Chain A
Amino acid sequence: MTSPDTGASLHAGRSTHDETVIDFGTLRADVATATRLVAPVWPVESFVATNPMRGFEHLPFDTACTEAERWFGATARCPLPWYRERYRAGAIRTADLHAAMIETDPALALSPPVELDGQPVDLLDLFLIDLLDGPEAPIERTGDPWITGALDHLGSWISTYLDDHNPLVEQADRDRGFLAFWRRTAVADPRLARLVGRGGRRWIGSLPDDPTAALASALERLRVDDRLDALRSLATKAPGWCGLAVWMEEWAGSGHRGPRVRPIEVIGLLAALDAAAGVRRLSITGAIPTGDRSIVAERVEHVLRVAGGDSASAALQRRLADLLRNAPPRAAVWLRAHEISYRDRLLTSLTPLERAVPPDTTPATAQLVACIDVRSERLRRHLEAVGSYETFGFAGFFGVPIRWRPTDSTTTEARCPVLVTPTREATEVPIDEAASQRRQRTRQGLRTAWSAAKHDPAAPFALAEASGWITGPTAAVRTMFPRVASTRPEQPSTVVVDDTRGGFTLRERVLFAEAIVSTIGIRDFAPLVVLCGHASSTPNNAHASALQCGACGGAPGGDNARVAAAILNDPDVRATLAERGVTVPTTTWFVAAEHDTTTDSVRVLDRHTVPPGHLALVDTTEAHLRVAGRRAASERAGRLPGTHTEHRAHDWAETRPEWGLARNAAFVIGPRSATAGVDLGGRVFLHSYEPDTDPDGLALETIMTAPLVVAQWISAQYYASSVDPEVFGAGDKLVHNPVGRHGVWRGQGGDLAIGLPWQSVATGGELEHEPLRLLAVVEAPVDRVESVVRRNDGLRRLLDGGWIHLAARDHRVAPWSLRSPGGTWVTWHHANDWSRSRSETTELLEA
């Protein structure tokens, strides 16, 4: 192939200019590969849980932990004293440790015993001594003040650029991009001179505007040997800002309004600082933690002392040293033991012989479809105990991906999981449109005036003077009487979901209705079906959206329930559904409701649309939901420190309005009969599934490739925010400062905090959340489950890598099977049932 421009082959020799151009192409590719180590960070106003170790999910979990610790300078598992405390408290048993040792290091279990003082001693017993009270390696975390200064500089300039009201940033700066704005403007910043010297600052001022060219210049000046590693080091130094840029580039889509920063610009700025300072501090990894392996000699000495082998031969000491050096990190064994302990308790409770309550066969007077969120489990359990109710679990957006346009709003918000891109709108229409328009004009006027006064450089002082007379007393009332201050009248409205206002066509509405019905496997409809979304009441909380419905993109779920109810009550939809074999009786009415997870109260929505004949049933169901909610709140209050749940919902000084999804541990897919009557402690995502109605496994595939994946993100985020609250979590809420709508700083600047605040996972120094990897439990034919896994690469990677553990049984009375990496299934045995004899251990390992 020849080029008309040069007359040369594409693959023949090129001019120097061409080589530079090609280098830019590969540099952009390397930046994209480097930034994969950093998880996307959603703006805190629409918080989406992600695994901060997401960039390592293609690796087995234990390898990923080592890599994440290396790149982020983090700790990826709890410290040994925490696990040992859980052991003393009985949450982890010796049998769990034995099972975990065998699973994580089969070679150890198969090794012949050693002789100590003439007696044969099992190596597992020696390793157990080391696990239970062997010496710990010190965890040292040293900060470099220069790096802190560099991150402060980055945070200061990015936050300036992303503030769309900042007069310092002109339109021409927006057109040129962040890196060009920074290098043109920061040359006058004395803080930059203090960081990199005057010469370095001048050099930064001479960089090109194009971010790829600027980064290439910085890397050239740094003379890096391994470019990809240098870029990875830079990206992982600022996982907050870099993650936000990754979100903007990969997830925000064209609907995102406001300024954007690109990952190459974040990396480019840090590389430029390093290059300008003349010392590589940002573009190299920190010290690699040595952990357990750094203290092998002390561990051997301890084991021999406890085992009574003080006079052990040098050969035995060497063997033990080899054993401990090559064994998995002790925290990995403890983590697995903790997971085995939870798994055994859960599977035992779901085994029919252990069940106290027989399945209820009375026809339900009403059905409730709640979100799969772990916080629904208590409400469902208590409602079923109060009356003849059948409950289901389904992703809280009820399968309808929408852009929601509330009354009085000129904009829309995505209300669905982030894995789905909504293309249609659902619009809230007030019953009294004229009154609503008046309110909208007044609000818009106030908002515009307030915004103008806030952002005009001269006006803030005048604003404080002018508004102080009302904001002061309002603040006092809000502090003293939080419930009074937060009471707002509700304006009745309806939702429009059809294509008259950008919504769904009839065909689409029918498909969504069918998906809801078929995915959860609902067969007989009760006269009333409550579609119950959830929301959290939490004023003055930067991380409020982390407590809302994850399936609704970090927003309250009531509106999605209203949309789904409108679709399922639509006579045209029902008529078409009937033609497709799904008959919804004319006597059935779908009503939307919202579960407030801070108070466990449930509010019926759009009551004015309920037919008169159903009102009495709605009233009765609402009364029973009140009772169930009170019981659920009372059960939950025992784990919350301090004041009553109701007060927390309105107190603007409350740092912990509720526990959110803390303690989440498992995801059960199956009919409610698999779990009914079992107290799951608000720790389990519950997704309804009827294997009999899904012979081809399509519904199971939908559940395992979307809700289960989102639950893994949530589980992994709670895990990471618990094991390293400083690196993977947002740390202490008390020092948070909001940075626009983007996130929070810890203190006055630096990197954007990622993950959950410490108050979301712990009280004081005590973890509330138990950091475990998610356990998926499926009641469906095991070969169908495996078939779904095999045809979905992403899901298979998560399971084979040990990021999710999977148990399944063919039907309710079948034994549980566990999936091993690679797709081998073995029958589950409780750790207590495992014999410690060598022959049986060998047999088990061979199996």
Chain B
Amino acid sequence: MDTDTIADEFGLTPMVKIEVVIDGADEAAVRDVFLGGGATGYTALTGVSGFGHHGHHQGRLLFNDRASLSMLITVVPRARAADLIAGIRKLLDHRHGVLFVSETAVSRPEYFAAP
């Protein structure tokens, strides 16, 4: 079942989910692109650990909240997604990190679209 079908079947609204995993130090840049591009909010998961292109990444350190990875997630209407995705891709030209874009469906569309 694709997202539009799910949305229709359950009375939800299709949206685009954008997830970025990036150095904790670059969190502000991602937030700026999100909010400047019309996202009404985001979720930040700090101290993310994992293994990838640059080897193993530690989770949270005892006295350094900035050295680990963060994951920022936002959901926007499709019409606004292009601006955000272009901005994040541009950011990643100069930074480590990964971007995931997927379709999703939400129950309260007004939460995700500024008037």
Contact = CB atoms under 8 A, between A and B. Distances in A.
Interface of A: 1, 3-6, 10, 14, 18, 21-22, 24-26, 28-33, 36, 212, 249-250, 264, 395, 399, 401, 417, 419-421, 515, 701-702, 705-707, 709, 790-795
A419 B33 contact: no
B33 A29 contact: yes
A399 B61 CA distance: 13
B6 interface: no
A32 B29 contact: yes
Contacts of A264: 32
B54 interface: yes
A702 B83 CA distance: 39
B2 to A, nearest CB: 9
A139 B47 CA distance: 46
Interface in B70-97: 77-79, 81-91, 93-96
B37 A706 contact: no
A417 B54 contact: no
A609 to B, nearest CB: 27
B61 A702 contact: yes
A377 B81 CA distance: 56
Contacts of B11: none
A1 B86 CA distance: 17
6 contacts: A25-B88, A28-B36, A32-B91, A33-B29, A33-B93, A706-B61
B62 interface: yes
Interface string B29-65: 1001100110000000000000000111110011111
Given A10-B82, A24-B83, A24-B87, 17 more contacts: A5-B78, A24-B37, A26-B87, A28-B32, A29-B87, A30-B90, A31-B32, A33-B95, A212-B36, A419-B63, A705-B63, A706-B61, A706-B64, A791-B55, A791-B58, A792-B58, A793-B55
Interface of B: 14, 16, 23, 25-29, 32-33, 36-37, 54-58, 61-67, 77-79, 81-91, 93-96, 103
Contact of A28 (B33, B62, B79, B89): B33
B78 A4 contact: yes
Contacts, number: 120
Contacts of B83: 21-22, 24-25
- With most chain A CB atoms within 10 A of its CB, the pick from B16, B36, B37, B63 is B63
Given A420-B63, A702-B63, A792-B67, A24 B58 contact: no
A30 B37 CA distance: 14
A212 B35 CA distance: 12
A252 to B, nearest CB: 10
A6 B61 contact: no
A17 B55 CA distance: 41
A629 B28 CA distance: 45
B45 to A, nearest CB: 15
Given A18-B82, A22-B82, A25-B84, A249 B90 contact: no
Nearest to B95: A33
B34 to A, nearest CB: 10
Contacts of A26: 86-87, 90
Q: Which of A33, A395, A793 has the most CB of B within 10 A?
A: A793
A1 B14 CA distance: 11
Nearest to A251: B28
10 residue pairs, one from A and one from B, having the closest CB atoms: A25-B87, A32-B29, A29-B90, A706-B63, A25-B83, A250-B28, A3-B78, A26-B90, A29-B91, A419-B64
B54 A793 contact: yes
Given A26-B87, A29-B91, A793 B57 contact: yes
Nearest to A399: B63
Question: Which among A21, A31, A707 has the highest number of chain B CB atoms within 10 Å?
Answer: A21
Contact of A420 (B55, B65, B93): B65
Contacts of A790: 55
B28 A249 contact: yes
A22 B65 CA distance: 32
A28 B37 contact: yes
A3 B81 CA distance: 10
Contacts of A28: 32-33, 36-37, 87
A395 B27 CA distance: 26
A264 B81 CA distance: 22
